[in-house]
Chains A and B, each alone.
Chain A
Amino acid sequence: MEVTQAPARAKRRGPDAPFANQYHAWLRTMVLIRHFEEKAGEAYALGQIGGFCHLYIGQEAVAVGTLAALRPDDYVISAYREHGQALARGMTPRSVMAELFGKATGCSKGKGGSMHLFDASINFMGGHGIVGGQIPLGAGFAFAAKYRGTDQVSLTYFGEAAVNIGSFHEALNMAGLWKLPAIFVIENNGYGMGTALKRASAITELYRRAASYGMPGVEVDGQDVVAVKQATDDAVAHARAGAGPTLLEIKTFRYVGHSMSDAASGTYRSKEELDSSRQRDPIVLLEMRMRELGMLDDDSVKKLEAEVIEEIADAVKFAEESPEPEPGALWTDVYAPATT
């Protein structure tokens, strides 16, 4: 048997050259997610979006950096804080916003909602609402890829609070045991609802948990989209080569409350802590880098903002004007259509 790779902290490496041509696209997607989420928050306050709604503001570089490393035929699955990942994977703001509005034109025909965004055409296998429940499913996609002998990989997102639930342990053990082509991404935003990581996990360097499962574990700066992309590239290459899964602990911040019914700061985290977390904003960091490289100036930032604002406004309008599901939709999609 192979020796377990020592867990590591990922160092941002090398010059920008290999990726610089993608910076514009990444910046645009991050800005798009930020505006989308802000608008979703407004629509929620207006009662246009119902139920639980968890925003991704502050975490944009995680979705954008990880998904930049995947191929279209790879699989992606996430928890309920998945608007940003759905958009970064290529779902349109229209189809996501319409789903949040519960409309028939939404990606899940209005039957999923904020927590259950699906798009089978791009292998976006859903947002899932039971903490940790999606982790075995993600391992299952990797199992299927290996079973079929393809070189697809499966990437599974979950919050840092999910590492304490049994499904994490069971799925990672089997993924490590069977060397499944999987990438497990802990989005460590420091909190599960109001519980700080150190109040929930016996160790707080979560990447070290990988050692139990015979896979590399890597700590990544989740505010730096380039570092995220590099770390994910390594994990993807490892998986495609047949060397098995990787656990990425991507450290990030959620600027907002746990869900729309929760204040950004309060009893469990102070205003000061929240403010200091905003010092390393993923969008600002990439903008600064691009300006240093002479790739961005005030005009191009303004132009980008204007485009994105228009795109989101269009998505909201589309969602508002879209029809409600037909009453008959209640009864469809429970079972597969009868075949003979």
Chain B
Amino acid sequence: MAVLTYRDALNAALREEMHRDENVFLMGEEVAEYNGAYKVSRGLLEEFGPRRVVDTPIAELGFAGIGVGAAMVGLRPVIEMMSMNFALLAIDQIVNAAAKIRYMSGGQIGCPLVMRGPGGAALQLGAQHSQAFESWYAHIPGLKVVMPATPADAKGLLKAAIRDDNPVVFIEGEMLYNMKGEVPDGEYVIPLGRADIKRAGNDVTIICHSKTVAPALNAAKTLSEEGIDAEVIDLRTIRPLDHETILASIARTNRVVVAEEGWGFAGVGAEVVDVIQREAFDALDAPIIRVHQADVPMPYNKHLEKAAKADATKIVAAVHQVCYRN
């Protein structure tokens, strides 16, 4: 077990999968000669050459579509988006082609593609560079949506995403790339569709993913000092959603907070709440409270930005509410 950054864990997953399968290649803006806008692909050009590590022009729709086409005929493209904000330019190819080819062709043609890159906010990047779009992709049958929160998950889930025969939208985080953690060496593959209990607890369940996992764990620490024992569930895969882990936890805790980075309206948390009210209505001792970004474009000013973002303080406050404590 080595201690790696999230960035290097992704790099290791890419390297290992490219060694393992000749059909895997990486394509995107600045992935090759520049070593990646966030250095996730560092050293891959040197190791695999320009045939398999392909720099593209700034043409998200075009190279996403080329990736989808290559996947339809059996390659396993990993398409890097410099940011998921820019992937909006490519979303037509992901939603209208990748997600539907199998169905429209009556099962004849698949699309084993990974589109990956950082999503959500970093620091003071302003309204156009700070958006969390996972719920957009999770809305689409035919897609899988994966969001690792730790270096180990980053490696294990990326390897699984590359091996998956479906199109997978794999969303990382600029603020996660430098996070360090223990990462198993070599063959470490985490099945998609399984949430992970990042902290076990009995009094309340905090459901979160990606960049809300760390604040949720911090919140749990604060809460434990007050005598509230929180369980923290990291969804890891948004679609397919792991109902089982969520429901088993609620059966014990009877109280739920759902945290996410993005906006609340039609967000991931809305789906989670829907599952819970249908499947575990009688288990609830309090209404579920959601924590998410303020319903405004992300402001630049750092105080306003902080006020807009979901954080540990807001999660603690939400837990107080569901536990009827003040």
A residues within 8 Å of B by Cβ?
Answer: 75, 77, 106-112, 116, 118-120, 123, 125-126, 128-130, 133-144, 147-148, 154, 166-167, 169-171, 173-174, 177, 332-336, 339
Contacts and interface: CB of A to CB of B under 8 A. Distances in A.
A173 B57 CA distance: 9
Given A140-B65, A336-B165, A170 B109 contact: no
Query: Which of B51, B105, B110: most chain A CB closer than 10 A?
Result: B105
Given A111-B103, A136-B68, A140-B72, 20 more contacts: A77-B69, A111-B104, A116-B104, A118-B105, A126-B101, A130-B97, A133-B65, A136-B62, A136-B66, A136-B69, A137-B72, A139-B65, A139-B66, A142-B69, A144-B70, A144-B75, A147-B51, A167-B65, A335-B102, A336-B166
B185 to A, nearest CB: 23
Interface in B90-147: 92-93, 96-97, 101-110, 112, 141-142, 144
Interface of B: 25, 51, 56-57, 59, 61-75, 92-93, 96-97, 101-110, 112, 141-142, 144, 164-166
A314 B319 CA distance: 68
B249 to A, nearest CB: 25
Query: Which of B70, B101, B110: most chain A CB closer than 10 A?
Result: B70
A120 B105 contact: yes
A110 B106 contact: yes
B141 A334 contact: yes
B66 A143 contact: yes
26 contacts: A108-B104, A108-B105, A110-B106, A111-B103, A111-B106, A112-B104, A112-B105, A118-B108, A123-B73, A126-B105, A128-B97, A137-B66, A137-B68, A138-B69, A139-B69, A144-B69, A144-B73, A144-B74, A166-B62, A169-B62, A170-B62, A170-B63, A333-B103, A333-B105, A333-B107, A335-B166
Nearest to A174: B62
B137 to A, nearest CB: 14
B65 A135 contact: yes
A147 B22 CA distance: 10
A137 B59 contact: no
B178 to A, nearest CB: 33
Contacts of A110: 106
B166 A140 contact: no
B107 to A, nearest CB: 4
B158 to A, nearest CB: 18
Given A120-B105, A120-B108, A332-B107, A137 B97 contact: yes
Nearest to A336: B165
Contact of A133 (B63, B92, B102, B103): B92
Contacts of B96: 128-130, 133
B108 A335 contact: no
Given A112-B104, A336-B102, A118 B66 contact: no
A118 B65 contact: no
A interface: dominant SS: mixed
B171 to A, nearest CB: 19
A162 to B, nearest CB: 13
Contacts of A167: 61-62, 65, 92
A191 B244 CA distance: 54
Contacts of B101: 126
Nearest to B63: A174
A334 B62 contact: no
Nearest to A99: B106
Interface pairs A-B: 8 shortest CB-CB: A140-B69, A136-B65, A170-B62, A109-B106, A336-B165, A118-B105, A137-B69, A333-B107
Contacts of B67: 140
Contacts of B61: 136, 166-167, 170
Given A136-B62, A141-B70, A147 B25 contact: yes
A120 B109 contact: yes
Nearest to B77: A140
Nearest to B102: A333
Contact of B69 (A106, A116, A141): A141
Query: Which of A107, A110, A137, A171: most chain B CB closer than 10 A?
Result: A137
A106 B108 CA distance: 12
A108 B106 CA distance: 4
Nearest to B191: A340
A126 B102 contact: no
A334 B142 contact: yes
